[in-house]
A and B are shown apart, each in its own frame.
Chain A
């Protein structure tokens, strides 16, 4: 099993959700986060006082998938989140040891 974590631009959430739905993903977790990468921050100006905002708002998406699904899921997120401009984000894929459904106690792929 794999845990797919993606950092995306907030306004692309709907596109990513739609793309994941199309490849059969049933659930994701979304968190509002801030950070910086190559995009850098932006500048705000108030009556000549210039402030640099280093951390930009992004969304973090997490979804647990079977190892076979991982590649498809990564492609779906990429398709949904890409604008071609700097700051589109990143996708991290990591090994996932165990998944447990709290209600039933099911484990492994069945719990995904």
Chain B
């Protein structure tokens, strides 16, 4: 992954930006991401669709501040990501079972994201009884709804969605994206959609990177 990706020309005020970032897992390991520029504005939805193992999930974690780039920087509206508090860039992860604390009931998991919003829970089809259960008692698809709710409750400005609907059936997929898109529109959020499903990317995104040329975005 070593090419320039940018949304428009000069980044305007509300924008999440990666500037010439490089990353590898350890000094002796190969570069996973090298010299990548990437930018997404608020109110837009950008798709990334590149082969498995080329650093999509790593880029997602860099953009959301889970990993720090070895070179380059991640900027939100021109400033580094805040170190304290809920991050305004929220990552929804590919494996929901790894994104929740296995020892917490789901009510507590959700409350990490802010105050429970009844309408949001209803629109995502979260049964109230599930709130009192532990993550291992729910299926992957059920857990992913909680992860989506948690991210949306935090009032984030940007959402990074890393294969969030691959483990869901197509009806649930359509339902969840309907909720995410309508909330994003209401709050003028920026969304990065990482998916292998070209049909889905085409439905959701104003532009899709990765179909352009082989290994590069």
Partners in one complex: no
Interface residues of A (CB under 8 A from B): none
